[in-house]
Structure 1
Amino acid sequence: MINIFYILLNPSCLACVAGADYLAWVSGFVSTYRDKILPLENPAGATLRIGGLDDTIYRDAHARVNGWGKFYLPGPVHMQVIGVVEGTSYPCDQLVLMTCEDKKVYAYDGCELHLVAPSVKELKDFEYPASKSYYKGEAFKHMTEEDWDKVRAGPVGRRLDQEHHKRVTLNKSKFLENLKKARQNRGVVR
């Protein structure tokens, strides 16, 4: 095992970078140290294998990965995978660690996104299950009817309406046929 936490703890590495620059720094770090193993103090025996998205079971799950930054946290962010936790008995296929512009570290366990460390500097002591977790769709829980009206009137809402109309039009005859059969089975139509 290699101990490279000193790089993460060096203030000159992280203090001056934010937002997209921070994510670029993290991406470079992951590229440089890919497949290196870091010991974690908590939980005992756990290690972090540094790697990017392509090193996870989600490498081909683009829609799910895209959702990590859009559907869980209060606002949209860009997630950068930093690795996977190994050597634990977590009940998930793979615990993926990532960070975003807020510099906090999150873990995705297949169901929820967990805030596991306030920064990569404190990653050695990460907490899972975390005291703060986010479920898919939580980003929308405080939206008002007015907010939803704006979404429906915007490009996303229009695209969804068009897709719905297309799907209904394509399946209209099948739908009507099934409706007729259901009515016949209930004795409503002969």
Structure 2
Amino acid sequence: MMRDTPLSTENKWDHVKSEFLDTYTNAGFVDLAKIPKIVKSHCSTRIPLVKPKSYSLRVCGQEDTVYAGNEDELEAWKDFYLPKRMEMEVIGAIDDFPCEAFGLQLVLLLCEDGNIYAHEDEVLHLVARSLKELFSSGMTFPGIETFQLGECFEYTEEEYNKIMESSEVKEVKEEHRKFREYLDLELLQALTDFKKQIKAELSTASDVQTEEERIRPMEALMCCDDVHQNPMPVVPWKQQTKPTHHQEQEHASFLGTS
């Protein structure tokens, strides 16, 4: 009796990519109903990206991102960024990415029109026109286009500010603030517990410890004392400006895409 041979790592990547790409219709749209099953089947699989170099797409749903449990966030992504409401599904995250996203985590969203967006705090970046482009060419960040929270309602500065003061947008921003506050408290508690553990180890330290062994927990305590997070600044309404050629070169050099 023949047994299935385990897929090699590269073959597994190709298999996952193929399943994602099969959700596209001939017209270029996506059958989003198929996405949750694919994500669940391949959760935690890491698919290396062509660019930015050294980064991977970690396949996961919203429940495995920093926005786990925040059901309103996905609705906000659908309603309050793009020119018109678009259905979306979370397909993964890029972890420890240098950006303004909470937890340095970009959440990747597959839109019904086939586009791929990355969420960075209160900005959606169009990072690829399709999954095929994402897998073959990599992610464009900052995005090909960017959309700020509430920008879909933008007409004039006065109208924009009025809408940003609306009860719906205020509610979304307040929920976002509370959720970030909750995550901050969890992080603070974890650091506090870690600090207590280090202090306990110091208090029971043996006299025969080496100098390096005595210094290591002290350094850990200093790191705990230094950890803090400033609140995200409120971004006022403004017309977007194109980055200078020098800024584009610096960013490309940083990501290793030049």
TM-score range, shorter chain: 0.5 to 0.7
Structure 2 equivalent of residue 40 of structure 1? 49
Percent identical among aligned pairs is 31
Say yes or no: does 1:133 pair with 2:142.
no
Aligned pairs (5 A) from 1:1-150: 2=10, 3-5=12-14, 7-8=16-17, 13-16=22-25, 22-86=31-95, 88-92=97-101, 93=103, 94-124=105-135, 125-142=138-155
After superposition, the C-alpha distances for 1:110-151 in whole angstroms (9 at most, x for unaligned) are 1200000001111131111113000011111149xxxxxxxx
The alignment's TM-score, normalised by the length of structure 1, stands at 0.66
Aligned-partner Cα distance in 2 for 1:62–1:82: 15
RMSD between superposed Cα atoms in Å: 3.2
Cα deviation per residue 1:140-186 (whole Å; 9 max; x = unaligned)? Answer: 1149xxxxxxxxxxxxx9x98xxxxxxxxxxxxxxxxxxxxxxxxxx
How many residue pairs match? The answer is 148
Q: Secondary structure at the match of 1:69?
A: helix
Which structure is richer in relative contact order (CA contacts within 8 A, separation 6 or more)?
1
Alpha-carbon separation, structure 1, partners of 2:134 and 2:25: 19
Distance 1:90 1:11, change over 3 A: closer
Displacement of 1:85: 0.7
Give the whole-Å Cα distance in 2 for the aligned partners of 1:53 and 1:12.
Answer: 20
How much does 1:101 deviate?
0.8
* Structure 2: runs of 5+ lacking an equivalent: 1-8, 157-165, 169-258
The answer to whether the 8 Å contact 2:30/2:113 transfers is no
CA distance in structure 2 between the aligned counterparts of 1:8 and 1:44, rounded to whole angstroms: 18
Tell me, yes or no, if the aligned pair for 2:79 and 2:85 is still in contact at 8 Å: yes
Q: Secondary structure at the match of 2:146?
A: strand
**Deviation string for 1:62-100 (max 9, x for gaps)?**
223210000000111122000001253334221000112
Runs of 4+ in 1 over 6 A off after TM superposition: 17-21
In structure 2, what is the Cα distance between the partners aligned to 1:81 and 1:4? 18
Tell me the amino acid that sits aligned with residue 140 of structure 1.
Answer: F
TM-score by length of 2: 0.50
Distance 2:139 2:29 in 1: 24
- Aligned CA distance change for structure 1 residues 14 and 21 (closer, same or farther; 3 Å): closer
What pairs with 1:157-172 in structure 2 (closer than 5 Å)? none
CA contact (8 A) 1:73 1:134 kept: yes
